[in-house]
Amino acid sequence: MGRKRPPTRNQLSVNNDVCRRYGFCVAEAPELFELTPSGGLRYRRVVPPRELENARSAARICPTLAIALAEAESPTRGGRA
């Protein structure tokens, strides 16, 4: 079995079984998260580089820890140049 490859893009995922839709993520990263009128949560799965810090903050601030961020490796983080 080979090693799991790191993602090639920054990717968000939300565990909908855990998410309670408190909206902290929306306040922290409105370009990435949105509460719908019906009470659902919409989010961008691929995080643009300019929104990466906001995505990190949203994942940190989530009271139920429902948000996961898989960051792509970059040359400055140990990836290949």
* Residue 42 within a domain: yes
Place of tokens 């799965």: 45
In this prediction, residue 73 carries a pLDDT of 80
Please check whether residue 12 lies inside any domain of the structure: no
Average pLDDT over residues 60-79: 84
User: Is position 35 within any domain?
Assistant: yes
Alpha-carbon dihedral angle through residues 41, 42, 46, 51, given to the nearest 10 degrees:
-80
What is the DSSP code string of the chain? -PPPPPPSS-EEEE-TTT-----HHHHH-TTTEEE-TTS-EEE-SBPPGGGHHHHHHHHHH-TT--EEEEPPP-GGGT---
Per-residue model confidence (pLDDT) at position 42: 97
In a domain, 3, yes or no: no
* Number of compact structural domains in the chain: 1
* 69 belongs to a structural domain: yes
Say if residue 69's pLDDT is above 80. yes
Range of the domain at 35: 22-74
Q: In this structure, is residue 14 part of a structural domain?
A: no
Question: Bigger pLDDT: 75 or 15?
Answer: 15
- CATH number, position 50: 3.30.70.20
Rounded to two decimals, the pTM is 0.80
- pLDDT tens per residue across span 7-51: 679 999 999 999 999 999 999 999 999 999 999 999 999 999 999
